[in-house]
Structure 1
Amino acid sequence: MKNRDHGLTLGLIGVVIFSGSLPATRAAVAGFEPVFLTAARALLATLGAIVALVMFADNRPRRSELLSLMVVAASVVVGYPLLSGIAMTEISSARGLLFTGLLPLSTATWAVVRGGERPHPAFWLFAIAGSGLLATYALMNGGGEGVFTADSLMLVAIVVCGLGYAEGAVLSRRLGGWQVICWALVIAAPAMLAVAAFTWPAGWPSFDSSAWLGLGYIAVFSMLIGFFFWYRALAVGGSSRVGQLQLLQPLIGMGLSAALLDERVAWSLVATAIGVLGCVAGASRLGIQRASAARNVARLNGLPR
Structure 2
Amino acid sequence: MKTDNSATLPTSIAVTAPRERRTLGTGLAALGVASFSLTFPATAWGLESFGPWSLVTVRSALAALVAGGCLLALRVPLPERRHLPGLAVVALGTVLGFPLLTTLALETSSTAHAAVVVGLLPLTTAACSALRTGHRPSRRFWTAATAGAAAVLAFTVAQSGGALTAADGCLFGALLVCAAGYTEGGRLAGVMPGWQVIGWALVLCLPLSLPGAAVALAYEPAHLTGHGVAGLLWVALGSQFLGLVVWYRGLAAVGIPRASQLQLAQPLLTLVWSALLLGEHFTAAAPVTAVAVLVCIAVTQRS
TM range (shorter): 0.7 to 0.9
* Aligned-pair CA distance for 1:72: 0.3
* Distance in 2 (alpha carbons) for counterparts of 1:208 and 1:269: 32
Residue 30 (structure 1) shift: 2.7
Aligned equivalent of 2:206: 189
Q: What residue in structure 1 maps to residue 126 of structure 2?
A: 108
Mapped pair 1:10 → 2:14:
no
- Which has the higher Rg, Structure 1 or Structure 2? 2
Q: For residue 184 of structure 2, what is the amino acid of its counterpart?
A: E
Q: Is the 8 A contact 1:101 1:250 kept in 2?
A: yes
> Which of 221, 235, 239 lines up with 1:218 in the alignment?
235
| Structure 2 Cα separation of the partners of residues 201 and 272 of structure 1 | 44
Task: State the Cα distance separating 1:27 from its structure 2 match.
Answer: 1.3
Shift in alpha-carbon separation, 1:27–1:221, aligned structure 2, 3 A: same
1:230 — aligned with what? 247
Picking from 159, 167, 170, the partner of 2:176 is: 159
**1:198 shift after superposition:** 2.4
1:39-50 aligned at under 5 Å gives the runs 39-50=57-68
Cα–Cα, structure 1 residues 43 and 53, in superposed 2: closer, same or farther, change >3 Å? same
Once the two structures are TM-superposed, the CA of residue 172 in structure 1 deviates from its matched residue by 0.9
1:85 aligns with 2:103: yes
Judged with a 3 Å threshold, the aligned counterparts in structure 2 of structure 1 residues 276 and 59 are, in CA distance, closer, same or farther, namely same
User: Are the counterparts in 1 of residues 44 and 106 from structure 2 also a CA contact under 8 Å?
Assistant: yes
2:103 partner SS: helix
Deviation at 1:144, TM superposition (A): 11
**Separation in 2 of the partners of 1:94 and 1:19?**
11
Secondary structure at 1:35 match in 2: helix
1:261 Cα deviation after fit: 0.9
Match of 2:273 in 1: 256
Normalised by the length of structure 1, the TM-score is 0.81
Amino acid at match of 1:152: G
**Preserved CA contact (<8 Å) 2:61 2:206:** yes
The equivalent of 2:49 in structure 1 is: 31
SS at match of 2:58: helix
Letter of the aligned partner of 2:275 in structure 1?
A
Counterpart of 1:51, as a letter, is G
Taking the aligned partners of 2:249 and 2:157, their CA distance within structure 1 comes to 38
Structure 1: distance between partners of 2:196 and 2:24 = 19
**Superposed CA offset, 1:261-287 (max 9, x none):** 1112345688778778877876x56xx
Amino acid at match of 1:250: P
The count of corresponding residues between Structure 1 and Structure 2 is 285
Identical counterparts, % of pairs: 37
- The CA RMSD over aligned residues, in Å, is 2.9
Deviates more, 1:172-181 or 1:244-253: 244-253
The answer on whether the counterparts of 1:37 and 1:215 sit within 8 Å (CA) in structure 2 is yes
Indicate the residue corresponding to 1:245 in structure 2.
262
Partner Cα separation in structure 2 for residue 75 and residue 112 of structure 1: 18
For structure 2, which runs of at least 5 residues remain unmatched after alignment?
1-18
Structure 1's 88 and 187: CA in aligned 2 closer, same or farther, altered over 3 A?
Answer: same
The residue correspondences of 1:287-302 to structure 2 (distance < 5 A) are 289=303
User: Which residue of structure 2 lines up, in the alignment, with residue 66 of structure 1?
Assistant: 84
Inter-partner Cα distance in structure 2 for 1:184 and 1:86: 22
Shift of 1:156: 2.2
